Amino acid sequence: MRTLPCIPVFAFLTLTSGLSAAQADVVIRVDKSAQHLSVSVDGAPRYEWPVSTARWGYETPNGTYRPQRLEKIWYSRKYEMSPMPHSIFFDGGYAIHGSYEVSRLGRPAAHGCIRLSPSHAATLFALVQGHRAETRIVVTGERPAGYEVAHRRQQLAPQYEYARESYPAYRYNYNYGDTYGWRVPSRGVWIGRDGGW
């Protein structure tokens, strides 16, 4: 008779240990400085992928978040109904989602969301869907150094191209000044056949 009380206790412990094994602590870390996302489950690294965060003029917010909602198929109402497959929303309208612009992954290119390749987004979505309550999203870092300079050059490139096409007799002066013995106006950017403006 004394062995009977042990059976319910053993059954209870077996059931509760099975429940704790089904729960998994999922941490998604996004490093904006490296344009990189890593996923760990119960402290063990599981995935590492390149991402795109906010480009110049936009911001991806730093902080620690929980998934607010999951949308397998979503279209951005704010940005021309752009497709956002496998969206994991974490801060209002900000989400981790798939993007078909995979050539831009690894550098800032988004409006504030965190972009992944579609296959990686589907994998992450399935993981979070199964462990939503135990998932944390940690966003850190800044845009990569030098990105603003490169973006400004890219932004001005059409103006330079227009000038080259409109004024073919002129050549671009990088404003070396008198270093090479050239007569260059201090503000000079274009020098033509007549020696400048």
pLDDT in tens, 150-164: 555 566 666 656 655
- 175 token code pair: 């404003």
Quick one: CATH architecture of 24-143?
A: Beta Barrel (2.40)
Backbone dihedral angles phi then psi of residue 160, each to the nearest 5 degrees = -65, -40
- Each residue of 64-99: pLDDT tens digit? 999 999 999 877 777 766 788 999 999 888 999 999
- Residues 6+ away with beta carbon under 8 Å from 83: 73, 74, 75, 76, 98, 100
> Which pLDDT band holds residue 57 (cuts at 50, 70, 90)?
confident
- Residues 6+ away with beta carbon under 8 Å from 28: 37, 38, 39, 96, 124, 128, 135, 136, 137, 138
CA distance linking residue 6 with residue 103, whole number of Å: 61
> For residue 187, is pLDDT > 50?
no
Q: Per-domain residue ranges for the chain? A: 24-143, 148-191
